[in-house]
């Protein structure tokens, strides 16, 4: 069990006045007045954070015959141990992002609206009367049971725009549909939806995957809470206090990643001025160091920046010197974005496993030098990776790797969480995927 204490001074927006009179104790400096001449004491508050360590392990096996056959060509035993290490590191990376000590909540009922199909869209087919829609929340590890249904009246030539009700800790959503005068059997129509909004078009499914009847593993008592859970406040009672969430949370972005989306997050983290921020902690003087996003979302962000115009001028300049004409490299990517409030440069990083629709604004070191917090977010392992070669009891070599530790968010209030980022936009009908 990791036990930490987070201390905060009574300063912040309500400044501490520390000016005093020349002789605080009053009168002269007589010995019998000691220590009354000392200034008044400061006050602090402390919050206990109790996070349990968790036990992790994975095993690989190798037959004698495989090892013997590889002699002179490949050390299969060494290869198995390398694969074991790589598996463990990948599993830990996934847990850091989306592990949950408890199942996610079931999403609220979505909303849906029928409208005429726009250019490039295909009208729904296979509809008899109404379209019924249910959603589930998804992580790396499982899927929730479905939401209550939304009922949408439909007419020929229409598509249906679905707005998803976000869930704390969720990375993406699945959409199930059916049709009829009353709801029939729901089948999966769209999976891994990262956006806040989605347009149903084409043929309604009449078979395939049905809605799960039980949570398939979005949480486990053996897991610690990953970054999405911590930032969203979906943590086990008795661990983090209620206000230990991201300082800025917007799981309903509803557009592709743009400067406007990020600038709103920066302002929310700085002075809690954003009207889109759903965090109960609120941001205060946070200056994030890194934007972590999914590849397509960051590609859309780069495209958005390149197409911006300000005062008739593009938001970038291209200069080609004479000796570079034959060696021009095409393409553009945003490596850093400047925080318009603090003027700090925020690194832009593509995470290979973070699903589309999500982005994190991470602060690793607090802006106050006197905070006594070395890392706002860290892995605390009692026992780091330890590899065991088990005694041979049959014609198989067995190897295991173990870890005993946890993820600790000392100050998540200085980081931000974005969700519901659209994969694509449609200027005719709105920002729908």
Output the six-digit token pair for 130. 């109404």
Question: What end-to-end distance do the CA atoms of the chain give, in Å?
Answer: 43
Mean pLDDT, residues 254-264: 94
Residues whose CB is less than 8 angstroms from the CB of residue 214 and which lie 6 or more positions away in sequence, other chains included: 145
Distance between CA atoms of residues 235 and 239, nearest Å: 7
pLDDT tens for residues 83-137?
Answer: 999 999 999 999 999 999 999 999 999 999 999 999 889 999 999 999 999 999 9
Is pLDDT of 422 > 70? yes
pLDDT tens for residues 331-352?
Answer: 778 889 999 999 999 999 999 9
Question: What is the percentage of the chain residues whose pLDDT exceeds 70?
Answer: 88
Q: Residue 430: name the closest of 176, 190, 121 by CA.
A: 121
What band does 199 get if pLDDT is binned at 50, 70 and 90?
Answer: very high
Instruction: Compare 327 and 250 and report the one with higher pLDDT.
Output: 250
Task: Return the percent helix, strand and coil in the chain, to nearest 5.
Answer: 15, 30, 50
Q: Count CB atoms within 10 A of the CB of residue 78.
A: 10
The pLDDT assigned to 430 comes to 58
Is pLDDT of 24 > 90? no
Q: Specify the residue for token string 């005993």.
A: 404
Residues whose CB is less than 8 angstroms from the CB of residue 317 and which lie 6 or more positions away in sequence, other chains included: none
Mean of all residue pLDDT scores within the chain: 88
Output the six-digit token pair for 428. 């005719």
Q: Residue 212: name the closest of 146, 148, 149, 164 by CA.
A: 146
Domains delineated in the chain: 45-102+219-310+332-433 (3.90.1690), 111-200 (no CATH)
Q: What is the pTM (predicted TM-score) of this model?
A: 0.89
The pLDDT assigned to 347 comes to 96
Distance between CA atoms of residues 346 and 368, nearest Å: 18
What band does 243 get if pLDDT is binned at 50, 70 and 90?
Answer: confident
Mean pLDDT, residues 68-73: 92
* Angle formed at CA 415 by CA 409 and CA 420, multiple of 5 degrees: 110
């Amino acid at each position: 069990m990791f036990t930490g204490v987070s201390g905060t001074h009574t300063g912040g927006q309500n400044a501490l006045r520390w000016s005093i009179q020349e002789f605080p104790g009053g009168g002269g400096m007589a010995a019998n007045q000691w220590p009354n001449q000392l200034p008044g004491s400061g006050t602090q508050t402390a919050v206990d954070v109790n996070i349990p360590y968790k036990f992790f392990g994975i095993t690989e096996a190798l037959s004698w015959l495989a090892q013997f056959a590889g002699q002179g060509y490949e050390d299969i035993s060494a290869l198995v141990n390398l694969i074991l290490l790589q598996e463990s590191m990948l599993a830990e990376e996934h847990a850091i992002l989306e592990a949950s000590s408890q199942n996610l909540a079931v999403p609220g009922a979505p909303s849906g609206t029928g409208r005429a199909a726009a250019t490039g869209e295909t009208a729904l087919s296979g509809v008899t009367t109404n379209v019924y829609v249910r959603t589930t929340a998804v992580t790396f590890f499982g899927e929730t049971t479905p939401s209550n249904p939304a009922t949408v009246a439909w007419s020929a030539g229409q598509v249906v725009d679905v707005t998803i009700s976000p869930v704390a800790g969720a990375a993406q959503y699945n959409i199930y549909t059916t049709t009829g005068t009353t709801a029939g059997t729901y089948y999966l129509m769209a999976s891994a939806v990262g956006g806040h909004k989605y347009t149903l078009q084409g043929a309604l499914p009449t078979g395939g995957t049905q809605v799960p009847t039980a949570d398939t593993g979005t949480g486990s008592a053996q897991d610690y809470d990953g970054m999405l859970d911590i930032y969203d406040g979906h943590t086990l009672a008795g661990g983090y206090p209620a206000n230990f969430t991201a300082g800025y949370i917007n799981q309903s972005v509803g557009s592709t990643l743009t400067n406007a989306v990020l600038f709103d997050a920066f302002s929310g983290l700085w002075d809690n001025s954003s009207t889109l921020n759903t965090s109960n902690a609120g941001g205060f003087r946070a200056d994030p160091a890194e934007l972590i996003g999914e590849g397509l979302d960051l590609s859309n962000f780069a495209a958005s920046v390149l197409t911006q115009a300000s005062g008739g001028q593009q938001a970038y300049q291209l200069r080609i010197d004479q000796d570079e004409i034959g060696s021009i490299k095409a393409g553009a990517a945003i490596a850093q974005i400047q925080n318009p409030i603090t003027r700090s440069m925020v690194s832009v990083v593509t995470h290979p496993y973070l699903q589309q629709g999500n982005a994190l604004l991470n602060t690793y070191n607090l802006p106050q030098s006197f905070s006594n917090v070395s890392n706002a977010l860290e892995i605390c392992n009692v026992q780091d990776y330890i590899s065991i070669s088990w005694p041979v009891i049959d014609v198989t070599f067995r190897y295991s790797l173990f870890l005993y530790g946890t993820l600790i968010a000392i100050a998540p209030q200085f980081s931000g969480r974005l969700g519901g980022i659209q994969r694509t936009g449609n200027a005719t009908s709105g920002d729908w995927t």
